[in-house]
C-alpha cells in the first residue's frame, strides 16, 4: 500500500507490487538505462567518497544503490509506496550494499520532517506524479548538501499532448493518478530558493535531466 494524500493522488494503485517486481527484474537484467546513467554520472562527478545519498520517490532505489557501489557511504530511499520495500532490499542485496541502504515510508512534502539531509539527492521521474511537484523539488533541494539530480517530462507540445491523452485514459479507467508536466523554470526557481543553481542539463525525446549544485 502507498500513503494517500494530495501529493500523489492514486499512487497506491499506480505504484504497487507488480510494477516494483517488474522494475527489479528489468534492473537485474539490463542495469541502469541511459537517463539513469547520466544522472548517476552527474551525481558522482564531484566524488562520492563518504557521501550520503537520498533517493526521493526512489522506488526500488537503483540509483542510490549505484552511488553506494561507486563509493558513497549510506543511502536512503524515501517512498510513498510500501510495495517497493522488499524489492529495494533485494536489489541492495544483489549489488552488495544491503547494510548501507535503508527504506523510509514517507511523503516528503507532508511528513518528511524526519528525513535527513544528504550530500547527494536523487529525484528521478517523481515530480511528474504530483500536482505539487514544484514543492516536492523544493523539499528535496532543502535536504541537498551538495548536488541534486532530477528528471521530469519535457514541456514540449508533443509531450504535453501525450500526457493529455494519458490522463484522459486514466480518467476513462476511473483511476485517480495523473501525470503533470511542470514548468522547468518553476522547478529551477524552487531549487534556487534553497540555494541550488543548475549545473548540468540534458534533454531526451521525453525526459529532461538536470543537476543542481549548492551555491550557498
Ligand atoms: C514514476 S515512479 C519513479 C520511481 C523511481 N524514481 C525510478 O526512477 O524508477 C515515482 C515514485 O515517486 C513516489 N513519490 C511520489 N511522490 C512522492 C513523495 N511526495 N514522497 C515520496 N515518494 C513519492 C511514488 O510513490 C512512485 O514510486
Residue 6 has pLDDT above 60, yes or no: no
**Contact 91 CB / ligand 1 (< 6 Å):** no
Q: What local confidence, expressed as pLDDT, does residue 181 receive?
A: 98
**Paired strand residues for 104:** 78
Instruction: With beta carbons less than 8 A apart as the criterion, state whether 144 and 121 touch.
Output: yes
Q: Looking at ligand 1, which atom is closest to the CA of residue 11?
A: 25
Q: What local confidence, expressed as pLDDT, does residue 1 receive?
A: 43
Residue of 12 and 18 predicted with greater confidence: 18
- Backbone phi, psi, residue 74, to 5°: -135, 155
Q: What local confidence, expressed as pLDDT, does residue 37 receive?
A: 98
- Tell how far the Cα of 137 is from the centroid of ligand 1, in angstroms: 12
Q: Looking at ligand 1, which atom is closest to the CA of residue 132?
A: 19
Closest CA to 214 of 144, 116, 117, 149: 144
Which residue CA neighbors atom 23 of ligand 1 most closely? 57
Which residue CA neighbors atom 13 of ligand 1 most closely? 57
Q: What is the pLDDT of residues 56-103, one digit of tens each?
A: 999 999 999 999 999 999 999 999 999 999 999 999 999 999 999 999
For a mutational test of ligand 1's pocket, the pick from 19, 23, 82, 129, i.e. the residue with the most ligand atoms closer than 8 A to its C-beta, is: 129
Distances (CA, A) of 192 to 85, 109, 134, 148, 159: 32, 17, 12, 11, 25
Whether pTM > 0.85 for this model: the answer is yes
**Paired strand residues for 55:** 77, 122
Q: What is the pLDDT of residues 115-147, one digit of tens each?
A: 999 999 999 999 999 999 999 999 999 999 999
Q: What local confidence, expressed as pLDDT, does residue 8 receive?
A: 78
- CA dihedral in degrees (166, 167, 173, 177; nearest 10)? 120
Closest CA to 80 of 19, 152, 22, 12: 12
Q: Looking at ligand 1, which atom is closest to the CA of residue 58?
A: 6
- What's the whole-number mean pLDDT along residues 18-32? 97
Q: Percent of the chain scored above 70 by pLDDT?
A: 97
- Tell how far the Cα of 42 is from the centroid of ligand 1, in angstroms: 20
Q: What local confidence, expressed as pLDDT, does residue 210 receive?
A: 98
- What's the whole-number mean pLDDT along residues 5-31? 88
Which residue CA neighbors atom 16 of ligand 1 most closely? 8
Q: What local confidence, expressed as pLDDT, does residue 10 receive?
A: 81
Residue of 8 and 179 predicted with greater confidence: 179
**Contact 57 CB / ligand 1 (< 6 Å):** yes
Residue 2 has pLDDT above 70, yes or no: no
Q: Considering the chain, what is the average pLDDT of its residues?
A: 94
Q: What local confidence, expressed as pLDDT, does residue 204 receive?
A: 94
**Contact 66 CB / ligand 1 (< 6 Å):** no
pLDDT band at 40 (very low <50, low <70, confident <90, very high): very high
**Contact 79 CB / ligand 1 (< 6 Å):** yes
Residue 47 has pLDDT above 60, yes or no: yes
**Contact 20 CB / ligand 1 (< 6 Å):** no
**Contact 39 CB / ligand 1 (< 6 Å):** no
pLDDT band at 11 (very low <50, low <70, confident <90, very high): confident
Amino acid at each position: 500500500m502507498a500513503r494517500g494524500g494530495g501529493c500523489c493522488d492514486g499512487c497506491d494503485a499506480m505504484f504497487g507490487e507488480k510494477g516494483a517486481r517488474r522494475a527489479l527484474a528489468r534492473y537485474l537484467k539490463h542495469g541502469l538505462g541511459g537517463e539513469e546513467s547520466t544522472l548517476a554520472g552527474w551525481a558522482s562527478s564531484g566524488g562520492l567518497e563518504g557521501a550520503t545519498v537520498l533517493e526521493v520517490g526512489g522506488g526500488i532505489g537503483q540509483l542510490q544503490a549505484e552511488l553506494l557501489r561507486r563509493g558513497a557511504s549510506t543511502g536512503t530511499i524515501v517512498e510513498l509506496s510500501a510495495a517497493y520495500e522488499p524489492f529495494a532490499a533485494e536489489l541492495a542485496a544483489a549489488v552488495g550494499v544491503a547494510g548501507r541502504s535503508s527504506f523510509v515510508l514517507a511523503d516528503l512534502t507532508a511528513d518528511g520532517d524526519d528525513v535527513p539531509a544528504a550530500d547527494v539527492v536523487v529525484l528521478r521521474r517523481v515530480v511528474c506524479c504530483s500536482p505539487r511537484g514544484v514543492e516536492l523539488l523544493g523539499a528535496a533541494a532543502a535536504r541537498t548538501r551538495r548536488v541534486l539530480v532530477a528528471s521530469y517530462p519535457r514541456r514540449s507540445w508533443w509531450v504535453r499532448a501525450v500526457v493529455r491523452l494519458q490522463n484522459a485514459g486514466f480518467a476513462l479507467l476511473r483511476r485517480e493518478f495523473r501525470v503533470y508536466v511542470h514548468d522547468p523554470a518553476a522547478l529551477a526557481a524552487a531549487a534556487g530558493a534553497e540555494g541550488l543553481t543548475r549545473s548540468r542539463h540534458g534533454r531526451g525525446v521525453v525526459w529532461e535531466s538536470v543537476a543542481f549544485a549548492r551555491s550557498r
